[in-house]
Chain A
Amino acid sequence: MLQVRNLVVNYGPVEVIHGISLNVEKGEIVSVLGPNGGGKSTLLRTIVGLMRPQQGEISYQAARIDGRSPEENLAHGIALVPEGRRIFSRLTVLENLWAGAYLVRNKRVVDESLAFVFNQFPILAERRAQLGGTLSGGQQQMLAIGRALMSRPQLMLLDEPSLGLAPILVQDTFQLIQRLRGEGLTIILVEQNARQALEISDRAYVLASGQMQAAGRAEEFQKGGLDLERAYLGDA
């Protein structure tokens, strides 16, 4: 579904991703793990088009998409739930969700998506008139994911959805991601929480110091056939 080949990404003159490759098949949950500053967020931001790669190719459903804008990518079904959630704090919960459906012109489809999101997150339905900034961390995470769902994506990129959440909420988040895959979504999950991410993933990559240090099936990492810790250190 998505192929990334030899991707090089810079911030100004500084190269932070040094030629990485990755591929994701339809219906998979693929984790991208790795230490702080490894380049995980940069990878996701480049896939959706917030950043332009220096070199390399990104293709999605057999079409080259490097160079497309985030708007175009969203229209083609790629949605990013950004790091830190970044909900619109001064918009109401409902307005946040409407913003997520900005590209959907059909009012009925918007209402259906809204019903789906409220069904997944009943608390958001209760607080629909409240400002996003007044929600708790866990509720903001639900809103961030719900907002991305409003565009009816096929491929959803989640950047550290469990960050800063209480352990019980982390569990809920991972369960939700599994449910979404059950609904037909394909998911790329960036996580620091490696152990739990592997439990729900089909495959995983480890990205450290801007390079793919390891890649394989989730069980191989769990059973120790692939050494997660050494990959984290960046010289596996």
Chain B
Amino acid sequence: MTPELLVQQLINALSLGSIYALLALGLAMVFSVLGMLNFAFGELVTITGYVMFWLVAAQTSFVTAAVAGVIFATLASVLIEQIAFRPLRRAPFVTLLFSSFAVAVIIQNLIRQLVSPRPKGVPVPGIFDEVWRFGTFQIGVLPMITLGVGLAALGLLAAFLQRTSWGLAIRAAALDFEVARLMGIRANRVISLAFAISGLLAGVAGVLWVARRGTVTPDMGFVPILKAFIAVVIGGLGNLWGAVLGGFVLAFLEVTLDVVLPIEFRPYTEAFALIAVVVILYFRPQGLIAAQTAERV
């Protein structure tokens, strides 16, 4: 492989990885605080996509549409928790799982009924398709923007979690929810906050996702939640920074396989990536960074 190609693929992997990392962190955020897998997480990406589709079609600028998409995803996430999960707070794990699954199905069908079951195009700014040239190196603008936005979002979130008292509340609740309550951290508030952050991350990832695909479909949330789930499992369930790491690992696996696999195997890249994940989990069943839930005596 030429150095040019290597750099290109590296940037591809990093940019894809930053999307996966955002998604995985969003899913892990709710999982670690509430111990529930939110199947409706992918639909937050979908909501972002359709808000953007609608606003761009109404001649709004792409950036405004993107910001609105992120805001809607954040609000939707908080609202879904209050309507579909909060009344079931004491219910068993499986009940919450079904409830989130129901939310996902309802949102998908609402979009099918109210908008269209068929794909809709979201025109992206021309600059996204351009390529920057540095001597013999060619670097796509979109992967660079994706990487920049992704890393900026992760950095801001890390600063929020590490440096503010709300961030401390989230991290404490993620480690031991009951003891967090004993510290005076209000359960409903920290859960709302976790869902808000989760929605925000889904929104930012959603904007980047839409910018790559240029279309929206009612079931477009499926692939993002699948990737998020795999990344979270790789990183170690219930561990925030593990999820970020898992996102990048998954992207590197996919991009590497795409490069090294013979052309006729390319359609099965994702299947091979899954096999690689199984191998990782065989050697590290708790994920790369094990969640620490066990108590020491």
Contacts and interface: CB of A to CB of B under 8 A. Distances in A.
What band does the interface of chain B fall in when counting residues whose beta carbon is under 8 Å from A?
A: 20 to 34
Interface residues of A, number: 30
Contact of A98 (B168, B179, B181): B168
Contacts, number: 76
Nearest to A100: B183
A95 B176 CA distance: 14
A67 interface: no
B179 A103 contact: no
Interface in A125-159: 133, 137, 140, 147, 151
Contact of B182 (A82, A84, A163): A82
Contact of A102 (B176, B185, B187): B185
A172 to B, nearest CB: 18
A221 to B, nearest CB: 28
Contacts of A89: 175, 292, 296
Interface stretch (A18-26, A33-41, A68-76, A206-214): A68-76
A212 B180 CA distance: 30
Interface string B259-297: 000000000000000000000000000000000100111
Contacts of B181: 50, 69-71
Interface in A59-95: 69-71, 74-75, 79-80, 82, 84-86, 88-91, 95
B135 interface: no
A95 B171 CA distance: 10
Nearest to A80: B182
B178 interface: yes
A99 B172 contact: yes
Contacts of B176: 86, 88
Contacts of A147: 183
Contacts of A133: 292, 296
Given A84-B295, A99-B168, A133-B296, 6 more contacts: A69-B186, A71-B184, A82-B179, A82-B182, A86-B178, A91-B171
22 contacts: A50-B181, A50-B182, A69-B187, A70-B181, A70-B182, A70-B184, A71-B185, A75-B184, A86-B178, A90-B171, A90-B175, A91-B171, A98-B165, A99-B168, A99-B185, A102-B165, A102-B168, A102-B183, A102-B184, A102-B185, A103-B184, A137-B296
